[in-house]
Chains A and B, each alone.
Chain A
Amino acid sequence: MKLFPIRGGIHPDYRKEQTSEKAIVVMPMPAALYIPLQQHIGAPADVLVAEGDLVKKGQMIARNQGTVSASQHAPTSGRIRTVTEVTAPHPSGLPQTTIILEPDGKDEWADLPEPIADPFSADTHTINDRVAQSGIVGMGGAAFPSAIKLNLGEQKKLEILLLNGAECEPYLTCDDRVMREYPDEIIDGARIMAHALGTPRVVIGIEQNKPQAIEIMTKAASAFPEIKVVAVPVQYPMGSERHLVQAITGRETPARKLTADLGIVVHNVSTTRAVHHAIRFGRPLIARVVTVSGGAIREPNNVLTPIGARVADLVEFCGGFSARPESVVNGGPMMGQPLPSLEVPVVKGTSGILALTAEEINDRPTSACIRCGSCVTVCPCGLSPVDMAAFVRKDNLEGAAKLGVMDCFSCGSCSWVCPSHIPLVHYFNYAKGVLNDLERESRKNERIKTLAEVRVIRIEKATEAKRAALAARKPASDATPPSNSGEAKAATEEKANA
C-alpha cells in the first residue's frame, strides 16, 4: 500500500527491547484498589456505592453523567472501604474523589449484561450503549470516552476505521503485546466497531519496528477482505491520530476539525479489544495492560493491571526499583505525565509506568538558543518553536498564539532535539494553559453580557407590553384613533409571542 510522508518528527532511542519479548503477566490483586471517579476526558462519574457496600467484580460503582463521561466498575469483588479524596495520577498532585475497594480475594463476577449474540445484526445504538455502559475510554492515553467516538457514524458518512497500533512512544510495548497475544479479539472488536460506525473499511497501522505484531495481525485479518494491516515507518510521532491518518491516506485534517470530518475514525488497538470484551461477554473495562519499564525498574514487564492498583504496588510487583528514579512517568517518555508520587492509582489511560534514571532522561541545564532551527525542522505540526518560545519567554502569549501555539499537541520533538536543552514543551504547555483560561474567561464574560442584554430587552418588552395592554383596555371607555389601536394590537401580539 502506498504511504504518504509526514512532516518532521524524530528518531529517539526506542528501548522497547526491555519489554517487547515479555509476555503479558497478570498482577495479583493488591490489598486495596483506588478507583478515581474521573479517569477520562469529561465529567466525573456519579458514585453509586457507599462505605461498607459489598460489590462484585464488574459491578458498576459509578455511573457516567452528562454527554462526555465514563462509568467505573469494580475490578474485583470486595467491600467498599470508603469514598474519599485521594491524590490523582496527575502532575498537579491535587486530590480527586476516589472509591477505595478492599478485595475479598474471591474475585466473584457480578451479573453481567448479556453478550450481544449477533452484533452484526444489532443496531448502532445497542452497540454504543453497551460500550458506554462498559466504561470504555481510549486506551492510547487520551482516555476519551469511546462510545462518543462510535456515535460519529450517525452524524457523518464514514469511510475508514483506523486502528492505531503505531505505539510510537519509546519504551511502551503494551499495544505490541496485546496485538501479538490477542489478535483475534482485536479483529473481532474492529469488525464490531466498523459495523457500528458504518465504515466499509478497516485499516490497522503498525510501526515497522513491530514485525511480529504486523505478521500476526496480518494473518488474523486475512480472513476479512475489508481489513488491511499497514506497516508505517518508524518516525515519532507517527501514533498521533492526525499524522497516522496523513501517513496512511495522504489526507491532512484541517485545523480545528476532526479526522472524522475526513470520514476516518481512529481508535487504539487495546480499546478495540475492550469493545470485543464488552460486546461478546458483557465485561466492562476493569483492567488494562501496562508496560512497566525504565532503567530504574528491576524487572521490566507488561502487566495486566486491575484499574485502581497503586503505582507503588505495580512497581513492587516488578521487583521494585534497582536505582533511584529521577522521574516516574505515567505514559511514554515523550508525552507522558510525571507522577507526583507512587501512591496514585493506575487508571484506564495508563499505558506505561516508567521509572527513568537521570541518565535516560539526559536533562541538562538550559543554555542560550543558538537558532539552529532543529525545532523548526522536526516539528510535525509545521510550527516555529524557536519563535513561539521567544514570545512565551516575554509573556507575549498573544504573539505565541498568532504563531500557532494552540496547534501544538506537545509531542515533545522540539524539546528532545534542542541542543541548548530549552524546555520548549514546558513553555508551550504554560502558554496553552493561560490562553485556555483567558478564552474560558472571555466566553464567560461574553455569556454574562449576552444574558444581561437579553434581560434588558425582556424587561423593556414586558414594560412595553404592559403599557400596550393598558392602552388596549382604554378604548372601552374613550375612543382612540384607529392607527393607535393597531399599534396596541401589534404590541399585544408581541407580548403573546414573547
Chain B
Amino acid sequence: MSIATISKSGPFAHGFNSVQKTMFTVLLALVPATAFNLYLFGWPAILLFTVTVGACVAVEAGCLMLADRPVRATLADYSAVLTGWLLAMSLPPWAPWWVGVLAAVFAIALAKHAFGGIGQNVFNPAMVGRTVLLVSFPVAMTAWVMPHPLFSSGAPGLAEAIAITFGGHMPDTVSAASALGYIKTELSRGIPVTQSMAQVPDLMDMARGYRAGSLGETSAILILAGGLFLMAKRVISWHIPLSVMGGLFLIAAIFHAVDSAHFASGTFHLVSGATFLGAFFIATDYVTSPVSKKGQIIFGLGCGALIWLIRNFAGYPEGVAFAVLLMNGLAPIIDQYTRPRAFGRNSKGEPLQLEKP
C-alpha cells in the first residue's frame, strides 16, 4: 500500500483547537449578558443588534470578494459575527439602524480589511467602529434610555420598535444619562461626586444591570460570568482582565482616598460603564493585544490607567474604547520588549553563565 507523499515535517498530531472554535466559545460566553440586555431594552435593541451583526457579516463578505479571498470559509471563522456582536453591545440600545451599519463599515472595512484582514489589524475593529461613530455623531451615540424590559408596560412593541430603529422616532421621554455621564455633568456644574453619587443607582443594581447604558455596559455580573467561562475554557487567561480591572481600581481608589469630592470610588469605576465588557471581551482580543504574559499585564494596566484618566479628565464620560485603542497601538512595541526569556539564556539573549561548582 502506498503512503501519502511527504509535504511537510511534523508534528503528526494536532490539538483540537481552531480559530472557529475559539470565536464560537467567545460568542457563547456573550450569550447570557446579551440575552439579558436584549430583554432589558426590548425590541429596538433586538433590531439594532440584528442589523449591526448582519451589516458586519455583509461588509466582511464584500471585502473578501473584493480581495478575492475565500468568502464562505472565512465567514465560517465567526470573527465578523463576533466583531458585529461586540460592536452592537457598545452602541446605545435604541440607536437608529444607520448607526449600526455605519459602525460596521468602519469596523470591518476600515479597521480590519484595509489592514489585511483577520490577524493583521492593529486596532480592535469593534472599538474603531464605536469611537468613529461617537466622535462623528455624539448625540445619537449618547442617547441612553432607561431599561424597558420586553413585554413590560410602557415597553415599545415591535411596530413601535421598527419606528424607533428604522424611522428615527426616538420617544423623547425615555432618555436617561448613564451613571458615568451623570457624575461628569454634575461635577462640571460644581456638584461634588459625594453628592451626585446619591442620585445614581446603588452599586448592586449597577452590577446587576438595571440601569441606563449600552447593551454590554449593564449587567457586570453576567459579563463576569462569561469572562470566567472563557478563562475556564482557556480561551483567555487572567492576565489582561485582572490587570485592566486592577489598574483601574487601584488608581481610582488612591485618588478617591485623596479627594473623594472629585473622584468616584474604585468600586464605582469597576461596575460602571463598560469596564467588565472591556476587561474580559475587548482588551483580550488576540489580534490587538500582546502575546506574552508579561506584555499582557503591562497592556492591561495601561488600559486601566487610561480608562480612569479619560473618564476623569477627557471630554467623554466613558473611556474604555479609547483606552483600548490607544493601548492597541502600543501592543506591537510592548511585544517587542516583553518576549519571554529563552531557555538557557538571560533576558538579553546571552547564554547563561555556568555556575561555579
Contact = CB atoms under 8 A, between A and B. Distances in A.
Given A255-B343, A370-B286, A419 B19 contact: yes
B335 to A, nearest CB: 7
Contacts of A170: 13
A215 interface: no
Contact of B13 (A91, A157, A324, A362): A362
Given A254-B344, A338-B6, A364-B18, A371 B119 contact: yes
B11 A257 contact: no
A336 interface: yes
Contact of B10 (A93, A374, A419, A425): A425
Interface of A: 7, 10, 12-13, 91, 93, 157, 170, 242, 251-257, 261-263, 320-321, 324-329, 333-342, 354, 356, 360-364, 367-374, 376-377, 379-384, 386-387, 402-404, 407, 410, 412, 415-421, 423, 425-426, 429
Given A327-B3, A383-B342, A419-B19, A425 B9 contact: yes
Contact of B14 (A261, A377, A415): A415
Interface in B105-120: 117-120
Given A91-B6, A339-B3, A404-B345, A252 B352 contact: yes
B353 interface: yes
Given A262-B355, A368-B117, 15 more contacts: A242-B343, A255-B343, A255-B345, A262-B354, A338-B9, A356-B12, A361-B14, A362-B13, A364-B14, A367-B77, A371-B286, A372-B22, A380-B343, A384-B291, A420-B18
B98 to A, nearest CB: 30
Contacts of A333: 10-13
A369 B119 contact: yes
Nearest to A384: B339
Interface string B193-235: 0000000000000000000000000000000000000000000
Nearest to A356: B12
**Interface on chain B toward A: helix, strand, loop, or mixed SS?**
loop
Interface string B71-97: 000000101000000000000000000
17 contacts: A13-B13, A91-B9, A170-B13, A252-B343, A254-B353, A320-B1, A325-B1, A326-B3, A333-B13, A340-B6, A373-B286, A377-B293, A407-B343, A407-B344, A407-B345, A419-B18, A419-B21
A257 B12 contact: no
Given A10-B15, A329-B10, A334-B13, A381 B343 contact: yes
A416 B14 CA distance: 4
B3 to A, nearest CB: 5
B10 A334 contact: yes
Interface of B: 1, 3-4, 6, 8-19, 21-22, 77, 79, 117-120, 286-287, 289-293, 296, 335, 339-345, 349, 351-355, 357
B15 to A, nearest CB: 5
A368 B286 CA distance: 12
Contacts, number: 184
Contacts of B1: 320-321, 324-325, 342
Contacts of A370: 19, 22, 79, 118-119, 286-287
A426 B9 contact: yes
Max count, chain A CB within 10 A of own CB: residue among B6, B8, B14 = B14
A473 to B, nearest CB: 57
Max count, chain A CB within 10 A of own CB: residue among B1, B18, B335 = B1
A6 B9 CA distance: 25
Contacts of B3: 325-328, 339, 341-342
Nearest to A354: B12
Contact of A373 (B292, B341, B355): B292
A329 B9 contact: no
A342 B344 CA distance: 39
A386 to B, nearest CB: 6
A175 B16 CA distance: 28
B341 A382 contact: yes
A-B pairs, top 4 by smallest CB distance, nearest first, are: A412-B11, A373-B291, A255-B344, A254-B352
Given A336-B12, A416-B13, A376 B343 contact: no
B167 to A, nearest CB: 39
A233 B19 CA distance: 29
A320 B17 CA distance: 32
